[in-house]
């Protein structure tokens, strides 16, 4: 678990994501959300705590997931889940041999 300060704006973004909330009886807990299996792994969670001075801190199982959620959501774009990009590199050896022999990539792939 890692923690860091969180702003009111970031808290609002986190609330607007609509991730499943977990209810807890804790006077210092402002918000507890968990992963929905689509935008964040189901094993992920984040808890926002406040202190008597009103300062807030987020504690999460994976800060990278939280950062990605806040960044993507603040741009109004949530990442597509399940998208896979495949690269066929079966011809790489022959391309490398031609490039090593002194020919330019423009003569091999004319569209570049």
**H or E segment to which residue 9 belongs:** helix 8-16
Q: 2-74: which CATH number, 2.60.40, 3.90.320, 3.30.310, 3.10.450?
A: 3.30.310
Domain range summary for the chain, segments of one domain joined by +: 2-74
Q: Rounded CA gap, 96 and 105, in Å?
A: 10
For the entire predicted model, the pTM comes to 0.62
Alpha-carbon distances of 62 from 2, 31, 44, rounded to whole Å: 7, 16, 7
Q: What is the pLDDT of residues 62-80, one digit of tens each?
A: 999 999 998 876 554 444 5
Q: Beta-carbon neighbour count of residue 10 at 10 Å?
A: 19
Question: Which residues lie closer than 8 Å to 106 by C-beta, 6 or more apart?
Answer: 112
Asked whether the predicted pLDDT for residue 21 surpasses 70, the reply is yes
Higher pLDDT, 63 or 99: 63
């Amino acid at each position: 678990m890692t923690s860091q300060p969180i702003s009111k704006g970031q808290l609002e973004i986190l609330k607007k994501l609509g991730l499943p909330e977990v209810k807890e009886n804790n006077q210092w807990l402002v918000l507890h959300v968990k992963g929905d299996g689509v935008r964040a792994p189901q094993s992920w969670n984040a808890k926002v705590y406040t202190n008597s001075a009103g300062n807030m801190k987020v504690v999460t199982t994976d800060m990278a997931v939280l950062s990605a959620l806040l960044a993507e959501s603040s741009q109004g774009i949530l990442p597509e889940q399940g998208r896979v990009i495949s690269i066929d590199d079966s011809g790489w050896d022959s391309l490398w041999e031609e490039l090593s022999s002194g020919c330019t990539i423009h003569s091999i792939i004319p569209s570049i």
